[in-house]
Chains A and B, each alone.
Chain A
Amino acid sequence: MSEQTPMVQFKDVTKIYKGKTPAVSHANITIKKGEFCCFIGTSGSGKTTLMRMINRMNSITSGEVFINGKNVNNLNPVDLRRKVGYVIQNNGLMPHMTIKENIVLVPKLLKWSQEKLDQKAKELIKLAELPESYLDRYPAELSGGQQQRIGVVRALAADQDLILMDEPFGALDPITRENLQDLVQRLQQKMGKTIVFVTHDMDEALKLATHIVIMNDGEVVQDDIPENILQNPANEFVENLIGEDRLAEAKHDTVQVKEIMLTTPVKINLGASLKEALSLMKQRNVDTLLVTDDDDHMKGYIRINRLEHRYHRASSVSDILESDIYTVKPTAYLRDTVDRILKRGSSYVPVVDDNNKLVGIVTRSALVTLVYNTIWGDTDPMSSAELSKHQKDQVTKGADDDHD
C-alpha cells in the first residue's frame, strides 16, 4: 500500500493546564484514514484533552497536531471545527432548537441553502432510525438514547470525514448502548469515516476499534491494533484494563492448529484394496478414512456407506474416493478456523502442510473442549498433550455421527 497522508497525527504533543502536571505528555500517535481509533484509559488520564487538541478546542502546549498533513495551528479554528464532526459527552443538543435545527446546525453555519438543509435533515433522521416527525420536536421531548442518536448523526451533517466522539454513550443502558454502537459501526463502515472515539469501557473499545490508544496519567501507554494489545499487553496497567477474562480468551485465540491436532490420523493409501480399508475401519473403529498417496499427499477420504454400496463393483480405494475435502494449515490460528469447522458440521478436519501433505487431524470434539474452556474461564488452556489424548478417545465417537 502506498504511503497515505494520515488523517490525524500527533507529534510529541504535550498539554499542560495552567499550574498543573501535564494532562497529556509527549504523545505520538498516527491515525490513518478510515480507522476507528479508540482512546481508552481511566478517568482523568487525558483522553478528552488529547482529542480536543485535534479540533483546537484545547490549545497545544508543545508539539504539533496535523490533520491531513496540515498543522492545525495554521488552520482557522472556526473553519476547522466545522470540518470535523464532534459528538460531545452528554450529546450537547441545543435545548431551544428543534431536532431539525440541531441536526443541520453546522450546514447552516456553512450557509447551505434552505432546500439543501431540509433534504439533509430528512436524510439524517433516517440515518438515526427515527421517524421524520421527530424533526419538529425539541430535545427534551426525546429519550436519552434518541437524543444520543441525534447527537451522533449531527456530527455527520456536513459530510465530515473525521469525527470525534467523546464517550458518546456514557450514560445509557446496555441495550440502547449496544444499538448505538451498532449504528456508529455501520455508519463508519458504510461511509468510510475516520472516527476518534473516547471511552473507558474496554468492551466498547474492543467491539468498535481498529486501533486502540491506551492512556494513563497523560502518557500513551500502548498504541496498537486490538489483537496486539490483547496478545501483548505493554504492562500491568494495560492487563488490568483488559481484565483477566479477556486475557484468557485472547490466549486461546493464539492457539495454532498444530498445537491441538492429532498427529496420527487414520489414513489409507490410494492404492489399497477395499478389503484392507474395511478392516482398518473395523480395527480403528471409525467410519471414514483419510486417503493419501505414497508420499503422504492428501487426496480425499472414503466413507463406510459408499464403501458398502460399491464393495462388489469397486476394487480399490481410489474408486470410491471423495476429494471435496476442507483442510487447514498447521500454522493457522484456531480462532480463525474454529467457527468454520463448527459451522460446517463435519466431525474432523485434516491438517495439511504447504505441500498438501497430511500431517494431522483436528477433531470437532477437541474444539468443543477448547470452546468449553474458554467460556468457563479455565485460565490454563489444556496442554497439547492433554488435548491429543483427549482427541484420541474422541476421534472414534466423533466419526460415528458423520453420516451425511
Chain B
Amino acid sequence: MSHLNTFQQLLYYYDHNGMYVLQQFLRHFLISIYGVLFAAIIGIPIGIFIARNHKLGNFVISIANVIQTIPSLALLSIIMIVMGLGVNTVIMTVFLYSLLPIIKNTYTGMRNVNANIIDSGRGMGMTNWQILYMVRLPLSLSIIMAGIRNALVLAIGITAIGAFVGAGGLGDIIIRGTNATNGGALILAGALPTALMSIITDLLLNLIEKWLQPTGMKKEA
C-alpha cells in the first residue's frame, strides 16, 4: 500500500473495513454514553442535594475537582488494577470524570434560581418537592444539560484512550496505527471519526440545551 498517499490509504481502509469502523464507532459512542449516563444518574441528585448547603457544596465540588486533575491515563491504570482489563474499567473512568461537570452544573443551576422566585413558590404553598420539580429543575435544566454536554465530549476523548485497557472503540484503530510502521493513515482512520463524534455530539447537545431553556426566558437575550 506504500505507493498510495495517506489520504488514498485512508479511503482504501474505509472501503475495506467500513463495517468494522462503524462497529467501533458505535461501541465508542456507547461506552461514553454509559459512563455519562451513570454519572448523570448519580451526579444530578448529588448536585441537587448539595445545593441546599453552601459548605457541603464546596466540599463535594472540591473532591470532584481533585478527580479531574488526575491524568486520565493514570486514573485508567489505577482503576484497571481494581477492575481488571475490559470495557467496565473505561466506563468507570468516564463516569468519574463526568461527575465533576455534571455535579458542578447542577449545583450552579440550582443555586442560580432567583431566591425571590423560590420564596414566591413557597409563599403560595408549594411543598419542597413541588419547588424542586416545578421551579428549580425547569429553571436549571439547560445549565445541567450544558454539564452533560461537557461531560460527553470529555468522555469521547477518554474512551479513545480506553482502548489501552482492551475496551475497543475507535481508540483501537488509533493504537494499531501507532504500532504499525507508516501507520499515519490508520491513526487518521481512528482519529477522524472520533473528532467527528465529538463535534456532532457537541452541536446536537447544544441544540437540546437551547431547546430546554425555559420558554419565558429565551427572549431575554
Q: Which of A74-82, A191-199, A277-285, A365-373 contacts B (4 or more CB under 8 A)?
A: A74-82
Fill in one digit per residue for B114-155: 1 if any A CB lies within 8 Å of its CB, else 0: 101101111111110010000100110000000000000000
Q: Are B116 and A140 in contact (CB under 8 A)?
A: no
Q: Are A92 and B125 in contact (CB under 8 A)?
A: no
Q: Are A92 and B116 in contact (CB under 8 A)?
A: yes
Task: Please report the total number of A residues contacting B with Cβ < 8 Å.
Answer: 27
The residue from B114, B117, B125, B216 contacting A140, defined by CB atoms under 8 A apart: B216
A96 to B118, CA, bound (A): 13
* Given A78-B127, A82-B125, A106-B125, residue A92 in contact with residue B120 (CB < 8 A): yes
User: Does chain A have a CB within 8 A of B53?
Assistant: no
- Closest A residue by C-beta to B219: A140
* Given A95-B214, A96-B215, A138-B216, residue A78 in contact with residue B125 (CB < 8 A): yes
> Which residues in B have their C-beta under 8 angstroms from that of A98?
216
User: Does chain A have a CB within 8 A of B220?
Assistant: yes
Q: Are B219 and A88 in contact (CB under 8 A)?
A: no
Q: Are A88 and B119 in contact (CB under 8 A)?
A: yes
User: Does chain B have a CB within 8 A of A375?
Assistant: no
A3 to B114, CA, bound (A): 44
Q: Are A140 and B220 in contact (CB under 8 A)?
A: yes
Query: What is the interface of chain B mostly: helix, strand, loop, or mixed?
Result: helix
Fill in one digit per residue for A119-152: 1 if any B CB lies within 8 Å of its CB, else 0: 0000000000000000000111100000000000
User: Does chain B have a CB within 8 A of A385?
Assistant: no
User: Does chain A have a CB within 8 A of B196?
Assistant: no
Q: Are B125 and A95 in contact (CB under 8 A)?
A: no
| Docked complex: A65-124 residues within 8 A CB-CB of B | 78-83, 86, 88-98, 105-106, 109
> Which residues in B have their C-beta under 8 angstroms from that of A139?
216
User: Does chain A have a CB within 8 A of B81?
Assistant: no
A89 to B117, CA, bound (A): 10
Interface centre among A79, A92, A93 (most CB of B within 10 A): A92
Min CB gap B134→A, angstroms: 8
> Which residues in B have their C-beta under 8 angstroms from that of A90?
116
Q: Are B139 and A96 in contact (CB under 8 A)?
A: yes
User: Does chain B have a CB within 8 A of A55?
Assistant: yes
* Given A92-B116, A95-B216, A140-B219, residue A57 in contact with residue B122 (CB < 8 A): yes
The residue from B114, B130, B216, B219 contacting A109, defined by CB atoms under 8 A apart: B130
> Which residues in A have their C-beta under 8 angstroms from that of B139?
95-96
> Which residues in B have their C-beta under 8 angstroms from that of A86?
120, 123-124
Interface centre among A89, A96, A98 (most CB of B within 10 A): A96
Min CB gap B26→A, angstroms: 36
User: Does chain A have a CB within 8 A of B217?
Assistant: yes
> Which residues in A have their C-beta under 8 angstroms from that of B135?
94
- Closest A residue by C-beta to B138: A96
Min CB gap A57→B, angstroms: 6
> Which residues in B have their C-beta under 8 angstroms from that of A80?
125
Min CB gap B117→A, angstroms: 6
Q: Are A92 and B127 in contact (CB under 8 A)?
A: no
The 7 closest A-B pairs by CB, nearest first: A92-B120, A138-B216, A96-B214, A82-B125, A81-B125, A86-B123, A95-B216
